Chain A
Amino acid sequence: MRYLTARKRAEGLGAAHTGTEHHWYMTVSAVGLALIVPLFLFFFGRALGGTHDEVTATFSHPAMAILTLLVIFVGLQHFRRGAQTMIEDYARGMTRKVLIISVTVLSYGLIATGIFAVLKIAL
């Protein structure tokens, strides 16, 4: 037993040491996504249901390819951190670690797959 008060032990620890950076990232990415997501919804919705030629033609357009790459990359980074926060709120110990690693792997996997697909269609 150490003679430390609870306050002394808690002082300076904060929640996770990285809260400010996280919050600011979510703010910046939210504003960025707010600008591009409506455009993406519109053009993706238009493309959905088309033939293979129509779909590849849509995503071959430079503006559409760039828009899609941005939505995939920024959207999934936003998801990765948001999902991590949810996990940190509801899980602890080994479960928390496994879930955070899973979400990270899934997010980067989808980013890489999405980027590969769009570039292969567009280039």
Chain B
Amino acid sequence: MADVNRGERPLSPHLQVYRPQMTSISSILTRITGNALIVGVLLIVWWLLAAATGPDYFAIANAFVTSWFGDLVLTLSLWGIWYHYLAGLRHLYYDAGKGLEIDTSEKLGWACIGGSLALTVITLLII
């Protein structure tokens, strides 16, 4: 039948269909970190707007951004951006047709996780 299923095209396979593997987990983490970074961006843009507005409003925004909650969000964002950064570089490497062997790609996944944690700690130490 040629005319069935118009407009009801299949979406991406659901995550729960597959057994979790390093390649799939490190891939979905790229998407999660990339999109979740909008929370940190919202905070930072608000903070900048407050700084542009004046000392009084800045005091309010700065108190929130440097509170334990702000610290938590920004620290998670820092890890998120480093993870997304390394995973993005890996994506460029994959795009060049390299690193696609199962063994190599699994190692690259661990490198993204380990590397992002290390870079987060280093960044926190030097800033």
Contacts and interface: CB of A to CB of B under 8 A. Distances in A.
B91 A30 contact: yes
Secondary structure at the B interface, as helix, strand, loop or mixed, is helix
B44 interface: yes
A113 B58 contact: no
Which size bracket describes the interface of B in this complex? 35 or more
Contacts of B126: 42, 45
B123 A79 contact: no
B85 A37 contact: yes
B81 interface: yes
Contact of B49 (A56, A83, A89, A113): A113
A54 to B, nearest CB: 10
10 contacts: A30-B91, A34-B89, A37-B85, A38-B85, A45-B123, A59-B51, A82-B34, A83-B35, A92-B9, A121-B51
